Amino acid sequence: MKAFEELVEEVYQDGDLRPEFAKYAQLIARTRQQRRPSGEQFPAAPAGHYPFLRYAEIGASAEALPSGPIPEEMVRLRRGITILSSTLFKTLSLRYPLTADELHRLRDAVAIRYLQTE
């Protein structure tokens, strides 16, 4: 069995999957832009040794979330991401004898490569 990094590189270089992965990465990038208004940054994680959120932090982060209906553009983007994600997962499952978790990791790692190169 090939090393995970070799599989990522092999899938990334595969010309047959390039259009789907490129569109998948583009949709992910657009949803990130939609979620965060221009110039706004996510709040920094609080200092401390706790790897989890406290109840007060959950409430504070929930108040910072936008309220109201989800914009139609975001619904369309998420629908496209879901369809492409499923298609890529099925394609990779036919090509590689991996577990479902490994296939998800592979798909996500290749998508990250595309996000970094665009």
pLDDT digits (tens, 9 = 90+) for 44-63: 555 555 566 566 666 665 55
For residue 115, what pLDDT is reported? 85
Please classify residue 74 by burial: count the beta carbons closer than 10 Å to its beta carbon, then call 0-12 exposed, 13-18 middle and 19+ buried.
middle
| Predicted model pTM | 0.66
Task: Tell me the pLDDT band of 33, cut-offs 50, 70 and 90.
Answer: confident
pLDDT grade, residue 76 (50/70/90)? confident
**Is-contact 57 45, C-beta < 8 A?**
no
What's the number of CA atoms in the CB half-sphere (13 Å) around residue 67? 4
Burial label, 55 (beta-carbon count in 10 A; 0-12, 13-18, 19+): exposed
